[in-house]
């Protein structure tokens, strides 16, 4: 693959100037507006009276759970339930559970009518956390899951018992990954429109093809009659998947034979969009006194929330294979339970299990380094998989194709000037200092690619068609701030020689791309981009054949550069435009069996998996009197394989790191001891602002992936994976000499201060 040219994102002007097509702005004539009445109680029996609401001005319909249960018993899902009802019947199970729906001529009229819905709640005992869910006397939240357990899994490789029995050093920790919210710039939204051809559904989603499949499952409407379009999508991060509101919007449109629209309010979005992380990790590391890691034991308890989300409870399982990380660990045991609580359901959030896995192993490695008195970088160097050992089959059950962990780590050390930082730390952290410096390192490897096999007949395709004005690329992905339009245009441009601006990219539309697996898990470039590249190569071959006919030469004698075919050694030439026109108009070509037009469609292999890796470092200053943590520096060096667009890669890594830093330092969806959410808005839930951040420094190393023709790897989740352990290792590096062993995540000033005071009082 040739070096990536410097190409600015082609979609940015469109997004920045507002000449965009957001779902909330799409209003077909006659659109009705859907509003939900939601429970303020985490767990209660209830009765509802909608009589007054039905008589309110502008109201077209008011429904309860009993009304809509005959249409669809519960929200369709890719996993076993219990799944949420479209509207709760008799019992609510989390704050935000819908108890009624109002459809009116305007949003204002729907909101006014919703306030007239009379709901009487009879509180029930709440299951407030995973420990309470597993208690012997815990109330069962659903009859079909009386023990509250919705997922159990385990894996055992090697002899873990012997590894721990023989270990010189054992490090045991219990980490709690807090609930976090995706905080996409655009809240969830949907518009369902009945048409003579069926139904068109516009939705703010990462997964329009999966949405089409699930809408068909829940409604009984054939997929061929459903067109799902994800227009411009303002952020996804795993949360823009599928929900009951979207199912009900379609059913309402069918029932009323009118377009129906719903857009979440910001607080509604925070209460009802899947939360991420929400995981207890009980982990242990076995090692020799000189630092050889010999065993890893992991037990997870995931909080699934009140219902199993449409993507299933397995986000905690997403990192099951990755806990050994970059290390040669032969003895590995893993077990996981996901349980129900009276909180918002959980789902995928940037990384979906892999940040949690990296956090655990990287925290343990740092704790081991401190225990045996070894520099944490050198301990990693001693244990990581060496380049000559690739491909490497891990105890987690995956095979890494390539890797050079020394290259990224040494790059990080050089970029951060690690030795100078250690000297600076030593000079600063003197007795009596009111603040302390800490340096945290994090190394990671992640698995990207593949795809959710949501239907037996689902395939991933990409199509390229040469046009007189350039080219058209069609694929089953969806962009949500990810720069896909630029990347796809670059891939086609690189093969066909057309200008990037002349490539029209079509995505996020199940009518134009009938088959697709959508965008998540850092899969798009390696999986879909590979199919797109092969389709462009197919078009190039066909174009060479047509050009050879036009120029009366052998295809092997042709060169293609800057949109022009030239016969080697002659002045004979023709343009791509003329070749495209000839492919339609030249009767001599069609008479010889050429299909009109220059197009090609290719499918991709869902077994394509890539393993990007990297090394990140955080420098923090901790005020030991107030507990305030200040991030002073952050660097990262990553290997994401061959590069298509360096600017987009840097943006993805830095954006992910911002979310990881925020999770480590201040983001948390918090609940009280009765499972009432106490962070229901951005006044309470802290997301990072520019004032909270610093200029990051990033760099890259390259070992091309062997699993796909582009040699690329995933990059969208790298920063979110690497940042939390880097920050926490830095905080603990600063505080460990004071006797602080751990701080709960996020490491807010109050929590850090409490940890320091706890040591001082002993």
* 346-395 pLDDT tens trace: 999 999 999 999 999 999 999 999 999 999 999 999 999 999 999 999 99
Q: What does CATH list as the number for 461-603? A: 3.30.365.10
Confidence at residue 589, expressed as pLDDT on a 0 to 100 scale: 65
Confidence at residue 585, expressed as pLDDT on a 0 to 100 scale: 76
Q: How far is 54 from 49, CA to CA, in rounded Å?
A: 10
Closest to 598 measured CA to CA, from 472, 460, 475, 462: 472
Sheet of 435-445, strand order: 435-445, 613-623, 629-639, 697-701
Whole-Å CA distances, 474 to 129, 329, 503? 45, 43, 10
3-state secondary structure of 719: helix
What percent of the chain shows pLDDT beyond 90?
A: 89
**Strand-pair category, 59-63 with 609-610:** unpaired
Fold matches, 275-450+608-760 and 461-603: yes
| Domain residue ranges of the chain, discontinuous segments joined by + | 12-124+185-235+240-272, 275-450+608-760, 461-603
Q: How many CB atoms lie within 10 A of CB 391?
A: 11
557 phi, psi to nearest 5 deg: -90, 0
CA angle (725 as vertex; 724, 727 as ends), nearest 5: 70
Q: How far is 627 from 625, CA to CA, in rounded Å?
A: 6
Averaged over 693-716, what is the pLDDT?
Answer: 96
Confidence at residue 693, expressed as pLDDT on a 0 to 100 scale: 87
Residue 575 has pLDDT above 50, yes or no: yes
The one-character DSSP state at 39 is -
The one-character DSSP state at 501 is G
Residue 6 has pLDDT above 70, yes or no: no
Residue 316 has pLDDT above 80, yes or no: no
Residue 563 has pLDDT above 90, yes or no: no
CA angle (345 as vertex; 341, 347 as ends), nearest 5: 130
Does residue 20 or residue 412 have the better pLDDT? 412
Whole-Å CA distances, 580 to 121, 495, 544, 608? 68, 15, 11, 33
Domain 12-124+185-235+240-272 CATH assignment equals 3.90.1170.50:
yes
Confidence at residue 632, expressed as pLDDT on a 0 to 100 scale: 98
- The whole model's pTM is what? 0.96
With residue 360 as reference, give the H or E element that holds it: helix 354-372
E-assigned strand segments in 30-73: 32-38, 44-49, 59-63
Residue 762's pLDDT band, with cuts at 50, 70 and 90, is confident
Confidence at residue 597, expressed as pLDDT on a 0 to 100 scale: 82
**Strand-pair category, 697-701 with 629-639:** parallel
Averaged over 561-572, what is the pLDDT?
Answer: 92
Confidence at residue 114, expressed as pLDDT on a 0 to 100 scale: 99
Burial class (CB in 10 A: 0-12, 13-18, 19+), 690: exposed
Residue 3 has pLDDT above 50, yes or no: no
**Which CATH architecture fits 275-450+608-760?**
2-Layer Sandwich (3.30)
Confidence at residue 692, expressed as pLDDT on a 0 to 100 scale: 86
Confidence at residue 592, expressed as pLDDT on a 0 to 100 scale: 63
Q: How far is 160 from 169, CA to CA, in rounded Å?
A: 14
Closest to 301 measured CA to CA, from 243, 346, 270, 366: 346
Confidence at residue 590, expressed as pLDDT on a 0 to 100 scale: 59
Averaged over 584-590, what is the pLDDT?
Answer: 67
3-state secondary structure of 143: coil
What percent of the chain shows pLDDT beyond 70?
A: 98
CA angle (397 as vertex; 346, 279 as ends), nearest 5: 25
Q: How far is 483 from 434, CA to CA, in rounded Å?
A: 45
Six token digits for residue 137: 């006397």
Residue 341 has pLDDT above 70, yes or no: yes
């Amino acid at each position: 693959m040739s070096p990536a040219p410097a190409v600015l994102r082609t979609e940015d002007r469109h997004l920045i100037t507002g000449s965009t097509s957001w779902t909330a702005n799409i209003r077909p004539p006659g659109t009705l507006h859907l509003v939900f009445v939601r429970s303020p109680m985490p767990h209660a029996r209830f009765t509802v009276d909608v009589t007054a609401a039905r008589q309110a001005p502008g109201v077209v319909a008011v429904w309860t759970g009993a009304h809509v249960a005959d249409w669809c018993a519960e929200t369709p899902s890719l996993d076993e339930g219990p799944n949420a009802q479209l509207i709760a019947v008799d019992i609510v199970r989390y704050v935000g559970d819908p108890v009624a729906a109002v459809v009116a001529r305007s949003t204002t009229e729907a909101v006014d009518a919703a306030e007239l819905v009379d709901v009487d709640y009879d509180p029930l005992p709440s299951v407030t956390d995973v420990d309470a869910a597993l208690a012997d006397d815990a109330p069962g939240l659903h009859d079909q899951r009386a023990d509250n357990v919705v997922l159990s899994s385990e894996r055992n490789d090697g002899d873990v018992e012997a590894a721990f029995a023989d270990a010189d050093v054992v490090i045991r920790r219990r980490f709690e990954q807090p609930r976090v919210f995706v905080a996409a710039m655009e809240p969830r939204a949907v518009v369902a429109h009945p048409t003579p051809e069926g139904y068109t559904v516009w939705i703010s989603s990462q997964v329009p093809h999966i949405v089409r499949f699930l809408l068909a499952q829940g409604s009984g409407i054939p997929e061929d009659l459903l067109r799902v379009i994800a227009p411009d999508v303002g952020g996804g991060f795993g949360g823009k998947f599928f929900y009951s509101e979207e199912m009900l919007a379609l059913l309402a449109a069918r029932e009323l034979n009118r377009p129906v629209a719903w857009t979440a309010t910001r607080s509604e979005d925070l209460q009802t969009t899947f939360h991420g992380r929400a995981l207890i990790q009980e982990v242990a590391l076995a090692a020799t006194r000189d630092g050889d890691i010999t065993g890893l034991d992991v037990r997870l308890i995931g909080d699934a929330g009140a219902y199993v989300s449409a993507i299933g409870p397995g986000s905690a399982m997403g990192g099951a294979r990755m806990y050994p990380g970059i290390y040669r660990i032969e003895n590995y045991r893993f077990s996981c339970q996901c349980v129900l609580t009276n909180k918002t359901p959980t789902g995928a959030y940037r990384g979906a299990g892999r940040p949690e896995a990296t956090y655990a192993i990287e925290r343990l490695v740092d704790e081991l380094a401190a225990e045996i008195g070894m520099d944490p970088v050198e301990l990693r160097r001693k244990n990581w998989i060496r380049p000559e050992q690739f491909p490497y089959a891990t105890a987690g059950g995956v095979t890494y194709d390539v890797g050079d962990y020394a290259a990224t780590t040494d790059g990080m050390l050089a970029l951060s000037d690690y030795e100078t930082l250690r000297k600076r730390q030593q000079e600063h952290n003197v007795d009596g200092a009111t603040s302390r410096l800490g340096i945290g390192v994090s190394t990671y490897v992640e698995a990207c690619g593949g795809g959710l096999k949501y239907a037996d007949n689902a395939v991933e395709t990409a199509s390229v068609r040469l046009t007189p004005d350039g080219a058209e690329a069609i694929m089953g992905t969806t962009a949500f701030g990810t720069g896909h339009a630029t990347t796809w245009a670059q891939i086609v441009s690189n093969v066909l020689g057309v200008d990037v601006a002349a490539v029209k990219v079509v995505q996020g539309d199940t009518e134009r791309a009938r088959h697709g697996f959508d965008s998540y898990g850092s899969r798009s470039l390696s999986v879909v981009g590979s199919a797109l590249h092969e389709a462009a190569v197919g078009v190039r071959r066909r174009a060479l054949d047509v050009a050879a006919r036009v120029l009366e030469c052998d295809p092997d004698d042709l060169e293609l550069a800057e949109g022009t075919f030239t016969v080697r050694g002659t002045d004979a030439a023709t343009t791509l435009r003329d070749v495209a026109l000839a492919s339609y108009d030249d009767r001599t070509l069609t008479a010889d069996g050429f299909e009109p037009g220059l197009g090609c469609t290719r499918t991709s292999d869902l077994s394509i998996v890539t393993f990007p890796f990297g090394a990140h470092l955080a420098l923090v200053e901790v005020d030991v009197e107030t507990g305030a943590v200040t991030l002073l520096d952050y660097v990262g060096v990553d290997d994401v394989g061959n590069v298509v667009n360096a600017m987009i890669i840097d943006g993805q890594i830095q954006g992910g790191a911002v979310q990881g830093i925020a999770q480590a330092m201040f983001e948390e969806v918090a609940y009280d001891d009765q499972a009432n959410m106490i962070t229901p808005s951005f006044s309470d839930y802290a997301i990072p602002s520019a004032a909270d951040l610093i200029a990051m420094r990033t760099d890259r190393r390259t070992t091309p992936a062997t699993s796909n023709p582009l040699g690329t790897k995933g990059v969208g989740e790298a920063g979110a994976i690497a940042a939390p352990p880097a920050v926490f290792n830095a905080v603990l590096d600063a505080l460990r000499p004071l006797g602080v062993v751990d701080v709960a995540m996020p490491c807010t000033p109050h929590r850090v201060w409490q940890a320091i005071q706890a040591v001082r009082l002993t």
